[in-house]
DNA sequence: TGCCAGGCTTCAC
DNA sequence: GTGAAGCATGGC
């Protein structure tokens, strides 16, 4: 077990920020604990204020430091919220323990294709079911768990099998992109070497991936933290907090991107972190108690 | 029952 | 190019 003191790092905030669907709370332990599955690894980690206990070996620790992006100064990012933007100030303070995880691109592609028109609890269910059905069964320190299925493993699923997993109209998207991954039309290796704009062009060329899903893949899977996904929650925030009469003339299709340009381009290079702050703050505020 | 959910594709105009 | 309809499934 490895003990570390880390600032601007809060497991529960990250778990509730909607970027990761394989963080499960561990009950009956001291502090906030979570079990995390990533790239075929399992980690139990506990938090008491600024103190963290990572249940892993020394040689595995660099992987998790990278995964949690612990070398980036999120205090500096949270403090960079514009003074006149009182809403963002509140959101950044409230969610200052959020970090942008470095998750596997393939897992993010499938996960965020699934995410469309689903609630976060239902996304978690689908990801877990896909992993149990097609992923490798592994064990670590006496715990068995299922890795997220590789392109090869997931491509063994027929369209009918995917439909039986309650994926609805997303099943054909997943089936299609698995075939693309096997054929080489989707090249995950070259995707990882693209910059943000190249990756957006590339990803939106695939069936079932639009702008919002591509932005989520860029932000959470490729660590292009300038990406600013605009979903229904963000749209609601933008209209309520940042709308100006001059926007009346903007076509609806480009309205939200325009508002983001006007109010968030000053955070060039890390706007996606600001996006996470307001997303988390909005969802927490609207639930008042627990995040579903 | 009707509406919405971390949207996307298709199809009129 | 823009906007609306249709899409699966489940929860409130």
Query: Token match 């381009």: residue?
Result: A265
Give the pLDDT of chain A (292 residues) as one tens digit per residue: 999 999 999 999 999 999 999 999 998 767 789 999 999 999 999 999 999 999 999 999 999 999 999 999 999 999 999 999 999 999 999 999 999 999 999 999 999 999 999 999 999 999 999 999 999 999 998 999 999 999 999 999 999 999 999 999 999 999 999 999 999 999 999 999 999 999 999 999 999 999 999 999 999 999 999 999 999 999 999 999 999 999 999 999 999 999 999 999 999 999 999 999 999 999 999 885 444 4
Collapsing DSSP states into helix, strand and coil, what is residue A199?
helix
Question: Could you check: is the Cβ of residue A117 within 7 Å of any atom of nucleic acid strand C?
Answer: yes
User: What was the pLDDT predicted at A31?
Assistant: 78
What secondary structure does DSSP assign to A65-127, as a single string?
Answer: HHHTTTTS-HHHHHTTS-TT-HHHHHHHHHTTT-------HHHHHHHHHHHTT--HHHHHHHH
CA of A258 to C1' of C9 (A): 33
How many Å apart are CA A218 and CA A45, to the nearest integer?
26
Residue with CA nearest to B6's C1' atom: A231
User: What was the pLDDT predicted at A115?
Assistant: 98
Query: Token match 């990572």: residue?
Result: A54
> What DSSP designation does A146 have?
E
What tokens were used for A288? 């008042």
What tokens were used for A6? 């880390």
Collapsing DSSP states into helix, strand and coil, what is residue A217?
helix
């Amino acid at each position: 077990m490895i003990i570390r003191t880390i600032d601007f790092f809060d497991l529960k905030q990250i778990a509730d920020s909607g970027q990761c669907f394989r963080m499960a709370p561990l009950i009956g332990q001291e502090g906030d604990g979570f079990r995390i599955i990533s790239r075929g690894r399992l980690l139990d980690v506990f938090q008491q204020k600024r103190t963290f206990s990572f249940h892993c070996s020394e040689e595995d620790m660099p992987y998790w430091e990278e995964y949690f992006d612990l070398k980036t100064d999120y205090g500096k990012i949270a403090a960079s919220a514009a003074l006149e933007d009182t809403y963002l100030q509140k959101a950044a303070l409230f969610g200052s323990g959020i970090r942008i995880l470095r998750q596997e691109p393939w897992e993010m592609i499938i996960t965020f294709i699934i995410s469309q028109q689903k609630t976060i609890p239902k996304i978690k269910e689908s990801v877990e079911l896909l992993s149990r059905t097609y992923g490798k069964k592994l064990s670590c320190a006496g715990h068995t768990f299922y890795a997220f299925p590789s392109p090869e493993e997931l491509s063994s699923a027929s369209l009918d099998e995917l439909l039986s997993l309650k994926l609805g109209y997303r099943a054909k998207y997943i089936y299609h992109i698995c075939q693309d991954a096997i054929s080489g039309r989707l090249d995950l290796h070259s995707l990882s070497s693209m910059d943000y704009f190249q990756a957006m062009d590339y990803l939106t060329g695939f069936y079932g991936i639009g702008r919002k899903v591509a932005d989520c893949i860029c932000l959470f899977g490729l660590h292009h933290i300038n990406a600013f996904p605009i979903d229904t929650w963000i749209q609601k925030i933008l209209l309520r907090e940042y709308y100006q009469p001059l926007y009346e003339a903007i076509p609806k299709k480009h309205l939200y991107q325009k508002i983001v340009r006007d109010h968030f381009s000053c955070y060039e290079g890390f706007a996606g972190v600001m996006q996470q702050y307001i997303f988390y703050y909005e969802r927490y505020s609207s639930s008042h108690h627990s995040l579903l």
